[in-house]
Amino acid sequence: MTIDPKKIRADFPALTRRVHGRPLAYLDNAATTHKPRAVLEAISDFYSTKNSNIHRGVHTLSEEASAVYEEARETMSRILGAAGPEEVIFTSGTTAAINLVAASFGRAFVSEGDEIIVSELEHHSNLIPWQMLCRERKAKLRVIPMDESGGITRETTAGLMNKRTRLVALTCLSNVLGTAPPVREIIRLAHEREIPVLLDAAQAAPHLPLSVRELDCDFLAFSGHKMYGPTGIGVLYGKKRWLEVLPPWQTGGGMIASVRLDETEFAEPPFRFEAGTPHIAGAVGLKAAVEYIRSLGSENIRIREREVMDLFLGRLRNIPGIILYGGESPRTGVVSFNLEGIDPYDAGLILDGMGVAVRTGSHCAEPLLRALGLRSTMRASIALYTDESDIEALIRGLEQARKMLG
Amino acid sequence: MTIQEAQEAIIKETAGFGSRLEMYDYLVAWGEELPGLEDSQKNDRNALPGCQSRVWITAKLENGRILFAADSDSVILRGMLALLVRVLQNRTPEEAASADLYFLRQLGLEQHLSPARAAGLRTIVRHVRQLVEHLVDTSLTK
């Protein structure tokens, strides 16, 4: 089966919008994707027919809500190839997932003089929690430098690992350049030294198949809203042997075995890590998103997105004055660029005036931009529904920007 | 020309615009007219924090009137700065401090006034107001 973009676009109501009188060309998918009708209906159906709090009531609605929430967890566990649903923690998103590990793992395993490794490619969400942790614990943050092509190498990474390294936290895919670090090799190198690895899969999740069994990562975090699901829901996968020994992060209702005034016994994972009422409808919506992706076939999506990306890069390269970042590296999902002599913010406004949505700025990755000697870029990012019309609209918009601003 | 008259003039100039792009064209034209700042004045002291494209503004009193100068990496933001300068230049600090800058809303630039906008006109307006307030204080103490 190949993907028919026309048919797929009809599944996404938001794509029919017009912006400033023009059809929307949405190329900000790395920030968030639109939602297919199946997801919107799943959320609406949950609130319309099953709305209730989970794991608490004896009544029918509560049992039904608990059941759909746990089904969502099982679905996540299956697509990730986890050992079981107890390895899947629902969070509000990638940011919360990484903060959870930084706080919990940090409290248990990081002390003065220890080291955490991140890369220069990281989104602030996979940098600042580790900065904070290292400051608190008087530990050291080691940073894998980015090379000219927007990648990192195994050799440099291995060179930073030592006896004091407690964790490697690494992105699967740069949210600025679309380049992919060699995470499999790095995980292997880390495991040879008994160092656990956390992967930030926020950008990778909508584009690449993620099998935690194959990757053998210890933690993996992603957000629902970047993969056609609702905002406010995300997943932290954690290997059972880690989750069993990690202390809770946030505490409150729904995560305890028994509570006395002076002492609390916490529930088993994953519940220990889900204090308070979770985003039940979000989990239901995320399950629907995953099922939608599965109905199209991850491999078909990958092939389709590769074709669109090739077309896109080809058209971009022909624009006079274009500067593409990331060298000749293969790119997945996103492309960062500028027009010579034109402020990216200005170009972004002209594009918006033409109905084209891109992101401009530092993309929550200031160290990466600084390493490239930049303050700001334009970033266009694709999704499974991106088609030639979006790309042509962007190209026309960039030509208009050159005309008005050049 | 009063502050209100200056704003009305801008509103009249832009009244016939049929598209967002025409507005940007207008702002680019004004941005190119803005004298800008010497490189030495494009420093941290004059910079506005938190803007996606850098913005610098200075304000001083001369004969009891405010003289603004401003610059930005973004020519469209320079255009917005030029309009603000056009409305507020050579006013007394008291006049400027009490001005309702309604032309920004009328021009449909309110999306740039939202607090979330990374390179916000909001930040610029707030900064201009702070500069004006400071000059009001200065002129009062004199």
Which tens digits make up the pLDDT trace of B42-82?
999 998 877 778 899 999 999 999 999 999 999 999 999 99
Q: pLDDT at residue A1 above 90?
A: no
Q: Which of A354, A376, A404 sits opposite B52 (nearest CB)?
A: A376
Whether A286 contacts A224, CB under 8 Å:
yes
Residues of chain B contacting A344 with CB distance shorter than 8 Å: 53
Q: Is residue A16 part of a domain?
A: no
Tell me the one-letter amino acid at A332: T
Shared domain check, A304 and A265? no
Residues of chain B contacting A376 with CB distance shorter than 8 Å: 52-53
Residue of A22, A340, A342, A346 best to disrupt the B interface, most CBs of B under 10 A: A346
Shared domain check, A319 and A279? no
**Among residues A273, A294, A315, which one ends one of the domains?**
A294
Domain that holds residue A94: 40-294
Shared domain check, A234 and A126? yes
Shared domain check, A218 and A307? no
ipTM surpasses 0.85: yes
Shared domain check, A116 and A51? yes
Tokens 């990958």 label which residue? Answer: A302
Shared domain check, A346 and A251? no
Answer whether A350 touches B (CB < 8 Å): yes
CA B124 to chain centre: 7
Residues of chain A contacting B121 with CB distance shorter than 8 Å: none
Answer whether B134 touches A (CB < 8 Å): no
Answer whether B40 touches A (CB < 8 Å): no
Yes or no, beta carbons of B76 and A349 under 8 Å apart? yes
pLDDT digit string, tens, across residues A43-54 = 999 999 999 999
Name all domains of chain B by residue range, CATH numbers in brackets: 3-141 (3.90.1010.10)
Yes or no, beta carbons of A21 and B19 under 8 Å apart? yes
User: Distance between CA atoms of A172 and A217, rounded to whole angstroms?
Assistant: 11
A80-104 exposure pattern, b = at least 16 Cβ within 10 A, e = fewer? bebeebbbbbbbbbbbbbbbbbbbb
Shared domain check, A355 and A252? no
| Residues of B with catalytic function | 51
Name the minimum distance, in Å, from the CA of A280 to any CA of chain B: 28
Name the minimum distance, in Å, from the CA of A33 to any CA of chain B: 19
pLDDT digit string, tens, across residues B95-120 = 988 889 899 888 887 666 554 554 56
User: Distance between CA atoms of B23 and B112, rounded to whole angstroms?
Assistant: 13
Least Cα distance to A388 among A309, A325, A273, A271 occurs for A309
**Among residues A294, A325, A356, which one ends one of the domains?**
A294
Q: Identify the band that residue A97 occupies on the pLDDT scale cut at 50, 70 and 90.
A: very high
Answer whether A346 touches B (CB < 8 Å): yes
Least Cα distance to A350 among B113, B42, B75 occurs for B75
User: Distance between CA atoms of A267 and A255, rounded to whole angstroms?
Assistant: 5
This prediction's pTM: 0.93
Structure tokens at B50: 């938190």
Q: pLDDT > 70: what percent of chain A?
A: 100
User: Distance between CA atoms of A28 and A378, rounded to whole angstroms?
Assistant: 10
**Among residues A294, A309, A329, which one ends one of the domains?**
A294
Answer whether B20 touches A (CB < 8 Å): yes
Residue of B21, B77, B107, B111 best to disrupt the A interface, most CBs of A under 10 A: B21
Q: Is residue A19 part of a domain?
A: no
Shared domain check, A301 and A187? no
Q: Is residue A146 part of a domain?
A: yes
Q: Is residue A33 part of a domain?
A: no
List Cα–Cα distances, A246 to A36, A243, A372, B140, in angstroms.
Answer: 36, 5, 38, 62
